[in-house]
Structure 1
Amino acid sequence: MKVGVNLPSAGVGQAAGVAAHAKHAEDVGLESVWVGDHLIAKDRPFLDSTLRLATAAAVTERVRIGFGVMILALRPVAWAAKQVASLQHLSGDRVLLGVGAGGSVHGDAGWRAVGVPYGERGARTDAALELLPGLVMGETTKVAGEEVTLSPGATMPPVVIGGGPATLRRAARFGDEWYPAFSEPAQVAEGARRLAELAAEYGRPAPRLTVGVSVGLGDVPAERIDAQVRGLTDYGMTEDEARGALVTGSPEQAAERFGLLAEAGAHRVIAMPFLDDPMRQTELLGEVAALLA
């Protein structure tokens, strides 16, 4: 079981910024660091995802750098491919390319800002995924009627399709992995079964599973857990589902929970710390990773 962690969305914090967090994650033995991607996010600042990953790549040597996830349809596909290829060169092929279509929780202001109809985001994501590998690898690819060749080409990174059960067909068609967030082991197991069936329809091997979890390790006040549960319900979860999706307690308890996700089919867990001590949470996650090694 591989363990990764989300980096700060704003890039800075009271304790440290992206560079320090990424280096710390590598030092404590985590496999990967991840960033979200929004143009305009609800109730929080967000630095550009590609620049945060470039910063992480510059201060690390081993840890993988992941989009969790890139909102591909917000960008012209050729420009997105240029960014991905550049990150592959800068990081030494350490990119994990999470891709999503964007959800409703952050509204449509970002989509209106770039002139992309919100209702077209799914179809545009699929169309971009068709073209992306050729563009990233420097192959001549027809985009909007023009033949485009990006240079230098790069190794196409693994594509990790983010989202819930509604994204399974996209993951089966385009993904090397499927990335559901806030899922319990039974949901992961059912998703893995259905994903294998859909992949077979496309003549593709079943994608692997990366699972995102909301994590607060150590002593966590009950009111802070309640606040996190309320936050998760904004994503359409019931209160019971939100409580079931949280991972709290000691590193040993977290390792047990991650082990259940592994039994359900996941090979990687991405921890999204919800407490105000991300450096300490990363240290505790390093202990979890050591227990699972």
Structure 2
Amino acid sequence: MGLEIGVILPTSTPDPSRPILGDVRESARFAEEIGLDSVWSTDHLIASAPMLDSTVVLATAAAVTERITVGFNVMLLALRPVAWAAKQVNTLQLVSGNRLVLGVGTGNPAHGDIGWRAAGVEFADRGRLTDEALKVLPDLIAGRPAVLADGLQAKLAPGSAVPPIVVAGNGKPAIRRAARYGDGWATIAMSPTEIRANLAQINKLASDHDRPPLKATVVAPQLDADPSRAADQLQAYAAAGTERVILAPSGDWRRDYEYAAKLRS
């Protein structure tokens, strides 16, 4: 099939009435043992439901595994000074043995603006700040000199390999952002037909920037409960240009992971 299959670590939930706060170590090890490709952590300072810090979660997952990819789904760059974000990313790369994928986004408005206000960031500025961060982030991660938005030149040490950067979002600014800065594009619950149409638009813009074509990461694809039928649906996603799917949590992470593993068999 050629598709990577990922799962969300049990550290957050979209449903405030059903917190999903499980054992990160146990779940990450189990995901690796049953052959899944990646584990992911979401990222908000204050959300509509309990949520752990994504960087600590991914460091924990990396520490108890050897092979599996660990990823931000997605890091909200605008919540942090970009140099701090880069330091977190390159440290995760170094301690994980270059197993990180960096999803980047501007946050789900459903969580409101309280987390942004608590971080001293204007909610309306998050898109601009994300673009400014992405301009310098690769150089900062790699330990190369970078000029920040205020004109300050900074260089982090040690540097690391720059992880794949997957830019999330469906709006026009996010599409432009993915085309200009992304190694991939992420979206939620789109159909294969929608994926194909959006990738055509993104890759036209990427070509205008002399950048290579992108593939999609689809979070929470709408799949049949029967693994054999779901596998057929995943073939359609792959044909549309999807490289990775990340399955949504249901509340029972072990059951979710076992279902995901069946899609690979």
Does TM, scored on the shorter chain, surpass 0.5?
A: yes
Q: Which residue of 2 aligns with 1:226?
A: none
Task: Give the Cα–Cα distance (whole angstroms) in 1 for the partners of residues 130 and 104 of structure 2.
Answer: 8
Q: Which residue of 2 aligns with 1:151?
A: 157
Q: Which residue of 2 aligns with 1:130?
A: 135
Q: Is the 8 A contact 2:101 2:163 kept in 1?
A: yes
Quote the sequence identity (%).
Answer: 45
**AA in 2 matched with 1:141:** A
Task: Give the Cα–Cα distance (whole angstroms) in 1 for the partners of residues 197 and 99 of structure 2.
Answer: 30
Structure 1 stretches of 5 or more lacking a match? 215-245
Instruction: Report deviation, 1:121.
Output: 0.5
Instruction: Report deviation, 1:98.
Output: 0.2
Q: Which residue of 1 aligns with 2:16?
A: none
Matched, 1:9 2:11: yes
Task: Give the Cα–Cα distance (whole angstroms) in 2 for the partners of residues 40 and 131 of structure 1.
Answer: 26
Q: Which residue of 2 aligns with 1:242?
A: none
The one-character-per-residue Cα deviations of 1:66-95 (angstroms, maximum 9, x if unpaired) are 100000000000000000000001100000
The one-character-per-residue Cα deviations of 1:10-61 (angstroms, maximum 9, x if unpaired) are 49x889411111111111111111111000001x111100000000000110
The equivalences for 1:204-223 within 5 A come to 204-213=211-220
**AA in 2 matched with 1:161:** V
Task: Give the Cα–Cα distance (whole angstroms) in 2 for the partners of residues 158 and 277 of structure 1.
Answer: 29
The one-character-per-residue Cα deviations of 1:214-265 (angstroms, maximum 9, x if unpaired) are 5xxxxxxxxxxxxxxxxxxxxxxxxxxxxxxx32311112211211111111
Task: Specify which of 201, 215, 225 is matched with residue 249 of structure 1.
Answer: 225
Task: Specify which of 200, 216, 232 is matched with residue 193 of structure 1.
Answer: 200
Instruction: Report deviation, 1:104.
Output: 1.1
Aligned residues: 256
The equivalences for 1:257-268 within 5 A come to 257-268=233-244
What is the DSSP-based 3-state SS (H/G/I as helix, E as strand, rest coil) of the residue aligned with 2:86?
Answer: helix
Instruction: Report deviation, 1:108.
Output: 0.2
**AA in 2 matched with 1:251:** P
Q: Is the 8 A contact 1:165 1:191 kept in 2?
A: no
Q: Is the 8 A contact 1:15 1:279 kept in 2?
A: no
**AA in 2 matched with 1:264:** A
The one-character-per-residue Cα deviations of 1:184-213 (angstroms, maximum 9, x if unpaired) are 111101011111111111111111211111
The equivalences for 1:222-233 within 5 A come to none
Matched, 1:33 2:10: no
Task: Specify which of 18, 35, 49 is matched with residue 24 of structure 2.
Answer: 18
CA RMSD of aligned residues (A): 1.6
TM-score (normalised: structure 2): 0.93
**AA in 2 matched with 1:272:** A
Task: Give the Cα–Cα distance (whole angstroms) in 2 for the partners of residues 189 and 165 of structure 1.
Answer: 16
Q: Is the 8 A contact 2:104 2:166 kept in 1?
A: yes
**AA in 1 matched with 2:259:** L
Structure 2 stretches of 5 or more lacking a match? 14-18
Q: Which residue of 1 aligns with 2:108?
A: 103
Task: Give the Cα–Cα distance (whole angstroms) in 2 for the partners of residues 146 and 14 of structure 1.
Answer: 41
Task: Specify which of 77, 86, 92 is matched with residue 72 of structure 1.
Answer: 77
Task: Specify which of 252, 257, 265 is matched with residue 277 of structure 1.
Answer: 252
Q: Which residue of 2 aligns with 1:81?
A: 86
**AA in 1 matched with 2:51:** F
**AA in 2 matched with 1:75:** R
Which moves more between the two structures, 139-148 or 101-110?
139-148
What is the DSSP-based 3-state SS (H/G/I as helix, E as strand, rest coil) of the residue aligned with 2:246?
Answer: strand
Which moves more between the two structures, 48-57 or 281-290?
281-290
Task: Give the Cα–Cα distance (whole angstroms) in 2 for the partners of residues 10 and 175 of structure 1.
Answer: 25
Instruction: Report deviation, 1:140.
Output: 1.5
| TM superposition outliers: structure 1 runs of 4+ over 4 Å | 13-16
Task: Give the Cα–Cα distance (whole angstroms) in 2 for the partners of residues 34 and 115 of structure 1.
Answer: 26
